[in-house]
Structure 1
């Protein structure tokens, strides 16, 4: 269980508070206006935004002081965060350790994951030689190969066309099955497609998760100026 206990995260002069539990093993969407703190919430979970008060619990352990690499978290970034000078194989293999020459065992694990995300035969290419959708698949493969129980998604497919975005959302959820997924989106249709619950974010505050269909038809009072029921 991922639990925020009066947690406050800070980025620059901005702070975001959260005090709730995130459902385990499901998909939770994060929706709110630009600048309200959606990315701050994910960065706080990942350890990239300092936590100034409260606790952040995972399975009963407070991880608030743990560095990012020691948290049970993998993250898909909006820009994919690929290294342009590395091959697909090398980019994905970073999930298994900081080496540019993975051994045979690691190469086999990377290749298996590349096959699962639909990138067979592309392990020697560099990001510039891939389409936007293929780059997204590389980033997804790396996040999945880290094999962490929590996967954060900061709108990684927002630059893709609608059909490809839907395909990537479906693929991500299918391959991450059993993990706790927290996904930022500006599109309520994304939440309706894959999310079990929705966290609404208003300036400076993340609201407790609400079942997706309830959120879509009757959003929290704090968000009604932003969000019209569908």
Structure 2
């Protein structure tokens, strides 16, 4: 994925990015609250307009496409699980809007549930699950969407630090194992340390990704101040 001379302008807020992300990478967007991390994801997904520049996937420009036509799946903060549908039915929405999924679709749902550790919970309602289990269900649905680029907009922010890092590790295992490229938003350097590389979002600029250990051990001056180093 490439953001080429990208500029975003929203209500007086401006953000610039010019970077390339290697396919299959697990990349953190790290920076303080309000820096524009979620705005970057929303521009990639098509939820906010691009003022200039382009978003490209495998060399093809995608910022001119509507959100549903982009090769992108997004895991949001609220998980977007429908409370009146079972966990299995929620996940099946990634495949079909029919009330009764086919046998093949049901098999795919069961496999996705097992992959995220919810193999026996398909018949339960979302409200009976813990926060971590709801996050796993939402991850299973993203897995079935079969999009090559996955955006994580702080979907685990309501979880404690231990569960949050457990979910990031699961995302890396499940999505990375499926060959997906993942961009995730974080303001916590310990979470960002799980990434292959980190792009720093600060002072209206998104930096090109660098190896996570390198960024955290020797941060540039704007990030150094944020991290208190």
TM-score range normalised by the length of the shorter chain: over 0.9
1:92-143 per-residue CA deviation (whole Å, 9 max, x = no partner) reads: 1111133333222111111110011111221122211111011000110011
Q: Who is 1:220 aligned against?
A: 220
1:24-53 per-residue CA deviation (whole Å, 9 max, x = no partner) reads: 211111111111100000111111111121
Q: Distance in 2 between matches of 1:222 and 1:98?
A: 47
Q: Distance in 1 between matches of 2:9 and 2:93?
A: 28
Q: Distance in 2 between matches of 1:221 and 1:71?
A: 35
Seen in structure 2, the aligned counterparts of structure 1 residues 35 and 100 have a Cα distance that, compared at 3 Å, is farther
Q: Distance in 2 between matches of 1:115 and 1:175?
A: 11
1:182 aligned counterpart, secondary structure: strand
The answer to which of 88-97 and 140-149 deviates more is: 88-97
Q: Distance in 1 between matches of 2:96 and 2:52?
A: 32
Q: Who is 1:28 aligned against?
A: 27
1:138-178 per-residue CA deviation (whole Å, 9 max, x = no partner) reads: 11001111111111111111221233222211111111122
Alignment of 1:68-87 (within 5 A): 68-87=67-86
Q: Distance in 1 between matches of 2:27 and 2:185?
A: 9
TM-superposed CA distance for 1:12, in Å, is: 4.2
Gaps of 5+ in 1: none
Q: Who is 2:91 aligned against?
A: 92
Gaps of 5+ in 2: none
Q: Who is 1:126 aligned against?
A: 125
Q: TM-score, normalised by structure 1?
A: 0.93
Alignment of 1:146-225 (within 5 A): 146-177=145-176, 178-192=179-193, 194-225=194-225
1:46-82 per-residue CA deviation (whole Å, 9 max, x = no partner) reads: 1111112111111010001111111111111112121
Give me the CA root mean square deviation. 1.5
- The alignment of Structure 1 onto Structure 2 pairs a total of residues equal to 227
Seen in structure 2, the aligned counterparts of structure 1 residues 124 and 11 have a Cα distance that, compared at 3 Å, is farther
Seen in structure 2, the aligned counterparts of structure 1 residues 228 and 211 have a Cα distance that, compared at 3 Å, is farther
Q: Do the aligned residues in 2 keep the contact of 1:10 with 1:16 (CA within 8 Å)? A: yes
